[in-house]
Each structure stands twice: as structure tokens, then as C-alpha cells.
A and B are shown apart, each in its own frame.
Chain A
Amino acid sequence: MPTVTMTVNGKAVTGEVEGRTLLVHFLRDKLHLTGTHVGCDTAQCGACTVHLNGKAIKSCNMLALQAEGAEITTIEGLAQNGTLHPMQEAFRDNHGLQCGFCTPGMVMAAVSLVKGKSNLSDDEIRHGLDGNICRCTGYHNIVKAVKAGAQAMGGK
């Protein structure tokens, strides 16, 4: 079996994978980072969104081997030293999550979406999140949360 090496949440990791293993399964099954979820099989729902070299991608839509040498951040790597990332905090403050299943992907997508933009309109946020499906919240509070998170991040 081939091996793959990448940096996940700041730690170098190496693992054996089958050629067909998707990045999301490598993260969940080999690294036990189960915060990244699988909600569909057509790269539509975004529950598996992680950051690859700083940009949001759907980890069900690439092979683990394609991430060779990449820097990956998952939801587990977002909070630093037990302090929530401002976007995580904003989701909590604005009740931007209910069952929590789409949440990791939604938060990772939101962080990437607002990078460098602290003042997004509701419309921009709604369109920017159309790759992530939430069945619980009706998006109302997610939009509020992303807006608040973007402001708290101050364009960073």
C-alpha cells in the first residue's frame, strides 16, 4: 500500500492508504479526526469541508494521496489552546447550529469565505455558503453567525 505524508492541524502525519482512499476517510479512519463528517457521496453537502493549504475544500472530493505534502486544518485544529476561534464563538453566540452534523464543515467554509472580508452582506454570505447544506437551522442564524464571526476576525 502506498504511504502519504501531510501536516494535519500542525502535526506531521504519515499513513498507509489504499489508492482509492478519500482524504475524508484518511482523516476519520486513520487519524481518528471524526469531527469532519460525511453527509453525501456527490460532493454536494459540504459536511466534510476542511482547509487545504488555507483554503476550504471538500475532503470527500479528493484522494488522500492527492494531499501529499499539504497542510490540512480540520475542525479539531481551529480552536487554539482550548479557546474557540472567533467563528466558532460566533456560531455559539448566534445559535448557528442545532444537531451539529453540518457544523464543522459550515464553520470551516465560513472561515475560508470571510478571509480578508470583514463586512460581507447577507446575500454574499448566503451565496458563499451554497456548497454547504444545513437541514436544521434554516440558515438564518448561520448567516448571522458568519457575519458576526467575520467582524470578530476583523478581515484576518
Chain B
Amino acid sequence: MPEGTGSATGIGASVKRKEDFRFLTGRGTYTDDINRPGQTYAYILRSPHASADIVKIDSAKAAKAPGVVAILTGADYDKGGLPCGWQIHSKDGSPMIEPPHFPLCKDKVRHVGDQVALIIAETYAQARDAAELIDVSYKETKPIVSLADADKPGAAQVWPEAKNNTCFDWHIGDKAAVDAAFAKAAHVTKIDIVNQRLIPNAMEPRAAIGDFDRATGEFTLYTTSQNPHVIRLLMGAFVLQIPESKLRVVAPDVGGGFGSKIFHYAEEALVTWAAGKVERPVKWTSDRSEAFLTDAHGRDQINHAELAMDKDGKFLALRVNTKANMGAYLSTFAPCVPTYLSATLLAGVYSTPAIYAEVKAIFTNTAVVDAYRGAGRPETTYLLERLVEKAARETGIDRVEIRRKNFIPVDAFPYQTPVALQYDSGDYFSTLDMALKTADWAGIDKRKADSKAKGKLRGIGISTYLEACGIAPSAVVGSLGARAGLYETGQIRVHPTGSVTVFTGTHSHGQGHETTFAQLVSDGLGIPIENVEVSHGDTNKIPFGMGTYGSRSLAVGGSAIVKAMDKIITKSKRIAAHLMEASVADVEFKNGVFTVVGTDKSVPFGTVALTAYVPHNYPITELEPGLEETAFYDPLNFTFPGGCHICEVEVDPDTGTVEVLKFTAVDDIGRVINPMIAEGQIHGGVAQGIGQALLEAAAYDEESGQLLTGSYMDYTMPRADNIPNITVGNHVTLCTHNPLGAKGVGEVGAIGSPPAVINAVLDALLPLGVKDITMPASPHRVWQAIQTAKKAAE
């Protein structure tokens, strides 16, 4: 892949987004904006209980309500359950417990919001009114909500087959080596962490429309998905048994995902199944209250970690014990989040020689938990960076120095960690130095004094992190339990008059693929960016695709496009050689023009395209007409972005309010195609990280299992006045194994930032003797921590 042509619309240029005009003028087409002829509306009656037997459902009265087309319950549902895409084996070799997950509950509800009945009517209001008339008799049973208590003897059981509510009990690393290192350690630092449950809250609530074509027997599902082909595969093959050839899945404009729209949800299967039953389109749109109850939640781990050090503060070994909440069912990728996306990252940016981690996955009577921006990597980063910070405080080693002392050296790449991953490239010293300088780390004492003069407490916090993304090499993830490959496809269709459509199996729901990928192709083929259209999100248009998550779109999807482009250029050279009566070996392609080396002969790309489709003068015996190529790209390894985040806060000791004054993010995301878009991704990720650190938490009532944070009145979303201006820097080391050198940018902001914020808060509170705080560091919690520390000091 060339470095880029340096054109104003090519690689490295902050091209304004092609997609913005439609979004800014209200012309975006999100799923709820779509209406099909003859459409009906679905409302889902949901469980008001966290755990109950369904004794009886009486829908006779509701069935006669105005406009009702059909009422369907678990007894009517005769298809399959929602599958889990990743299988983990426990320490003892036994496979994880995989309970059935039917889209409509059959005899028991297992969390508040579980699907009990599907009401289909002529209007949404009629469906909702009719739902009020359904009489469901429940026999309530005691729920288990607390992750800490769920595996203790005597806890209520979510599934009889999952003893002590344990889905699996997994481990990784060399326990004996870790134990030996701890035995000779000069110092051991220990920490207990609650990585709280979050609710992703993409601004577009989920929606789905099922459509059935009576003439052809084809189903179409319009859905708010990050990966329409995956939904087609899971829903078609496992749930509804519809062959791919009879099932089209369209994910049109999607209003944010952050992971929550990866998974195959019950409602997608229900509207598709119901459309076949009533032979009319069926539309379901979640309201925000439903979204809070039923979207897959994120994080929700409890960690205990211990770090062994020698007398100089060199890390000798790390030992981690994690409990991860799965919720009531296994969502599509849930089991891999606390294991292969979390525990394998425990080396972080450090050359810790021995690591051992145990992870227990636990069922509770709560909404499912699955990947949310960063997925497992924020949890690990938070644990590591809190632990390292604490180690520095305990040993008296400067907190920057302890990090530098333990960084993986620049010349150690490729670096094999003790927990499976092999990092290809990185330079943690440079990102650290850049961040320290940008954030004026050295000048903090003066600023602390200024704050103190105002009666405020200022603190600065740091996080040096790494993540694994560009998900993922199929053979590797297959050996680790993935039930799918994780390659990506790219297809390039050069049209007769030289314009180009790029089909990608990734999906853009804010990431700007229509611009970034157009830049790639415009640069690569030397054609104006206006001539390149990027198409995504429709299984009838795109050959195949695994979608967008795990910061994979550029590193994996972009690489597939580059591979397809290489094929286009190879074929074009043969056509050009024919036109110029030259040997293919002598043909060069640059800036959209084919030339014969050492001559003035040239043919522009457009002429080659036209010749391919109007092959009057064409090497027809050697070459097929047409100019369209597809590539499947399977990455050779994960990619490893990393960097340094620094946060500066001011705490009001009287109220406990934390104000984020400055945030600096210096990241190594590999090659950048569009710096404007890449920076925007980091801003957004950091805001979500600040949200986790200071504002957001999902809370269930431990007795009843009711969601206490079920609206924007209770769940604190970051608003404009909670987030500071964010300074973004970039230090590039290229990924060594993909053709772009790209590493990925979607998640780094959310991964690196939470510990930087909390370390800053703890730095501010250090003079008061506060040593620990649990996320979110809300004014209430901070104030309480201050009071507790004051009392202890008395």
C-alpha cells in the first residue's frame, strides 16, 4: 500500500464527511424512518418481575381490542433460541453452561423486561392499548441480583443447570510461575475493584421491521445492527431456520452502536417470524425505557488483583481474580468479553513476566451483559492502572517512573506476553513523553497551589494503556472458542464510465466509513473522491461481512478493500498493456494513469474501465470482461493500539463535585486515513470513559431486581457541560501485519481514560488521606470518602 498520494482527498487528509449532508438536513434513513406498505406495529409485553413462573396468559380480551392483528406468546413460538457466538471451557475442561434463550419466554421470566407477549396491531397505540388488556398470572420467585453474592451457597438460582449461578470458571496463565514469583517478592500491592455496570445508550433506540414477500417466500429484516450479515447468519441458521438465500437483512443508517447493536436480539427474530405468520410487515421500535431494560449492558466485573514487585519496583508477577456478570442469558459475545478480550490484556504495556488470571462468569436476574465500547479492555486497563498507581504510592516510586521502568522496551517487538497475545509494534515511551509534555505534567504543583488558594483540590492522573483490536484472526479466535471467522470482505465495482462503488462488510454507525474508505480508493485508483461511493449495511448488496466492532473496520475491512483494489489494478494493468501493446511487466500505474516504463505511452484509468465493459479491443481469450473484484481479508494478528491519557481535575471538598479541567490523549493508532474522523472517535471514547469514571452506573434493586436507573432522569449521561475540551495527540508506529499499517481507533478513548480520571481524583484527595474510590466518583461518593477519611484521621 502506498503512503498516499498526498492529494487533498487522499490518505492523511481531513476530508469533510460525505455522509454529513443527509444527516444535517434530516434525510438520514434510520430503521424507524422506514415504513413498508401494509405495515403493522408490534408492542412487546414485558415481564414486570425479575424472576417468576408464568402461570397463565389470558389474551382473549386483548385479541378483541380495536386494530389487533395477532397476539403471540411463548406457547406459539415454535422456532429456535438465540445462539451464543463464543464457547468458553472451564478449568476442568467442561463447556460453559448455555441455557436456552427463546425470544418469547415459555414458562419463566428471568429479568425485568423479559419478553412475554408480542402484540401486533394496525397502529402502535392500538398494540400498546391491547397489551394493557392481557392478563398474565405470575408466581414470583426470589431473584438474585448481586454479582458478589450470586455464586455463594444459598443464592437463588437463575438456571437449575448452572450450579451456584456459574456459567464457567476459566483461567489463563502459569499459576506455578506466578506463585513462585510472589514467594520471592519484595513488595506486593493488592487492590479490589468494582467495574460497574453501564448502559450503552446509543441515541437511536433499537428498532426492527420484519417483511415477508408472499410471492417469493423471502423475508427481509430492517434492523439497527452493526453487522447485518451476522444477524442473517445467526437468525437464519439458528433461530428461524430460513436459508440465507431467502433472508435479506438491511441495517440502514444506524444511530450509534458502541457494541450494543452487535448482538442478535429477540425482537429481530420476533418481527421476522411474526411477519411470516401475519403475512404483513411488522415494525417494532423500542422506546428508551425498553432500551434501558433490554439492550445488552456493559462492563459489570468485580476484580481482585495482586502485583508482585522486586525491591526496585520491577513487576515480577500479576495475579487476578475476576467475577463477570452475564445477566440472565448468554448474549451473542458475552463469554469472550471477560476472558479473551479482558484477561489476555493483563500484560498491558508492561513486561510482567508471569501472569495468572481466573475468571468466573455468573448468571443473575438482570439484563444481559455483553460488549460495550472497549469490551473487556477498559476493565483490564482500569484494574492495571489503578494497581500500578497504588503500587507507586505504596513503594514511594514516582508514578511515571514506575510505569517507564516496567514498559516493554521499544526494541522488544514482536513481544510475546505470558497471556497468549503477541504485540507486533508499539512505543509507549514516546506516547508517554508526548502526553506529559502536552498536559504540562511538570507544572502541576503550581496549579495545585492555585486551586488550593481557591479552596479547591486539584489532581492529575495518568494511564498508560494498550488494547488488542482489529478483531480478529479467524484461526486464533476459533481455537479460543469463537464460533465464527472474523475476516472481512471488500468488493470494488468499477463502473463502465469509471465511477466506483465500494462494498464493505463493515457497517458505519457514526464512524464515517463512506468518507474514509472513499479516501482509500480515491487515492489507490487515482480517481476523484466524488466518483467513489461506499455501500454497506445490506446483505443483498454486500457479498458477506462480519460488521463493525472491536475497532476493526479500517484494520480489517480497510485491508480487504486494499486487497480488492490490488486485484483491480492487476487486472487493469493487463487491459492497459493490451491497449498500449506492451508487456504487462512494463506497465506502471500511478495517480490514475497507466504508463509503459521508458515510453510516453499512457492510458487513463477511465479508458481501462470502459474497455473492460466495451471489450471491442480486448485480450478476450486471456481475460474476462468487466472490472469488479472481491477480497476476503483475514488478519494475521490482532492490532495493538496504545498510548497515554492524562486527566486533570478539581474537586470541591465541600460538595464532592469533580470538575474535569483538562484531558490529554496521546494515542498510537497506527496509520491514520482521516485525522479529523480519528480525533472525533477519540473525543467520543474519552467522553464515555469520563462518563464511566464520574457519572454513569446501572443499578438494580437487590431485593426486587427492578432497574433503578431506567431513564435519563436516573442514569447520568454525560452532557456537554460535564466534558472538557479534549487535547488529542498521535504518535504512530505502524501495524506490521496489515497492508495499511492501521491499528484502530474506535475504542482507545473509552479504554485509556477511566483510570486517568480516577487516578486524578485520588491524587486530588491524597492530602485528605483518601486512598480508594469506586466508580462513578459521583459528588456523593467523593464527599463520603472525604468524610470517612477525615473521621479516620481524627
Residues of A within 8 A of B (CB): 18, 20, 28, 33-42, 44-45, 47, 74-76, 78-79, 84, 88, 91-93, 95, 97-104, 107, 122-123, 125-127, 129-130, 132-143
Contacts and interface: CB of A to CB of B under 8 A. Distances in A.
Most buried by B among A28, A40, A75, A104: A40
- Counting chain B residues whose Cβ lies within 8 A of the other chain, the interface size class is 35 or more
7 contacts: A35-B28, A44-B717, A92-B17, A92-B21, A99-B510, A136-B510, A139-B718
Interface in B505-542: 509-512
Given A101-B203, A101-B256, A122-B725, 17 more contacts: A38-B287, A40-B712, A41-B288, A44-B713, A74-B26, A78-B25, A91-B20, A95-B17, A100-B24, A100-B28, A104-B24, A136-B680, A138-B749, A139-B687, A139-B723, A140-B725, A141-B680
Contact of A137 (B20, B684, B725): B684
Given A92-B16, A99-B203, A76 B720 contact: no
B720 A37 contact: no
B289 interface: yes
A45 to B, nearest CB: 6
Most buried by B among A33, A102, A136: A136
Given A39-B288, A95-B676, A107-B24, A101 B711 contact: no
B256 A138 contact: no
Interface of B: 16-17, 19-30, 32-33, 125, 201-205, 253-256, 258, 287-289, 509-512, 676-677, 679-680, 683-688, 711-713, 717-721, 723, 725-726, 749
B25 A39 contact: no
A141 to B, nearest CB: 6
B288 A135 contact: no
Can you list the 10 inter-chain pairs with the closest CB atoms, starting with the nearest? A35-B26, A101-B255, A100-B23, A138-B687, A99-B510, A98-B510, A44-B712, A138-B683, A75-B26, A34-B33
Nearest to B725: A140
A39 B125 contact: no
A103 B24 contact: yes
B256 to A, nearest CB: 4
Contacts of A34: 26, 29-30, 32-33
Contacts of A41: 287-289, 711
B736 to A, nearest CB: 30
A64 B326 CA distance: 42
A34 B204 CA distance: 13
Nearest to A134: B203
Contacts of A37: 30, 203-204, 255
Nearest to B511: A98
B21 A130 contact: no
B204 A140 contact: no
Contacts of B204: 37, 39, 99, 101
Contacts of B26: 33-36, 74-76, 104
B680 A137 contact: yes
B510 A130 contact: no
B27 A35 contact: yes
B684 A95 contact: no
Contacts of B16: 92-93, 95
Nearest to B710: A42
Contact of A40 (B288, B511, B676, B683): B288
B20 A39 contact: no
Contacts of A101: 28, 30, 202-204, 255-256
A20 B125 contact: yes
Nearest to A82: B25
Contact of B712 (A20, A42, A99): A42
Nearest to B34: A34
A113 B28 CA distance: 24
B711 A42 contact: yes
Given A42-B711, A100-B253, A125 B125 contact: no
A97 B683 contact: no
A135 B24 contact: no
Contacts of A123: 721
B195 to A, nearest CB: 20
Given A35-B27, A39-B288, A95-B677, A45 B203 contact: yes
Contacts of B23: 97, 99-100, 103
A88 B721 contact: no
A38 B684 contact: no
Given A37-B204, A101-B203, A92 B24 contact: yes
Given A78-B25, A138-B687, A143 B125 contact: no
Contacts of A39: 203-205, 255, 288
Given A35-B26, A100-B255, A137-B683, A125 B510 contact: no
Nearest to A74: B26
Given A84-B25, A100-B253, A133 B717 contact: yes
Nearest to B25: A79
Contacts of B719: 129-130, 132-133, 139
A133 B258 CA distance: 15
B24 A95 contact: no
A41 to B, nearest CB: 5
Contact of A136 (B205, B256, B679): B256
A38 B290 CA distance: 13
Given A47-B203, A99-B509, A75 B683 contact: no
Contacts of B24: 75, 79, 84, 88, 91-92, 97, 100, 103-104, 107
A40 B726 CA distance: 27
B140 to A, nearest CB: 27
A98 B25 contact: no
B720 A143 contact: yes
Contact of A99 (B22, B32, B255): B255
B711 A142 contact: no
Most buried by A among B17, B201, B688, B721: B721
A107 B510 CA distance: 17
A107 B26 CA distance: 11
Given A35-B28, A38-B32, A143 B725 contact: yes
B650 to A, nearest CB: 14
B17 A133 contact: no
Contact of A92 (B20, B203, B253, B688): B20
A103 to B, nearest CB: 5
A140 B511 contact: no
Contacts of A92: 16-17, 20-21, 24
Contacts of A98: 256, 510-512, 680, 684
Contacts of B676: 95
Contacts of A102: 203, 255
A79 B510 CA distance: 22
Contacts of B32: 34, 38
B20 A97 contact: yes
Nearest to B33: A34
Nearest to B712: A44
B28 A42 contact: no
Contacts of B509: 99
Nearest to A78: B25
B357 to A, nearest CB: 31
B512 to A, nearest CB: 7
B20 to A, nearest CB: 5
Contacts of A104: 24, 26
A37 B256 CA distance: 13
Given A39-B204, A40-B711, A135-B201, A95 B720 contact: no
Contact of B720 (A47, A84, A100, A142): A142
B580 to A, nearest CB: 42
Contact of A140 (B28, B254, B512, B726): B726
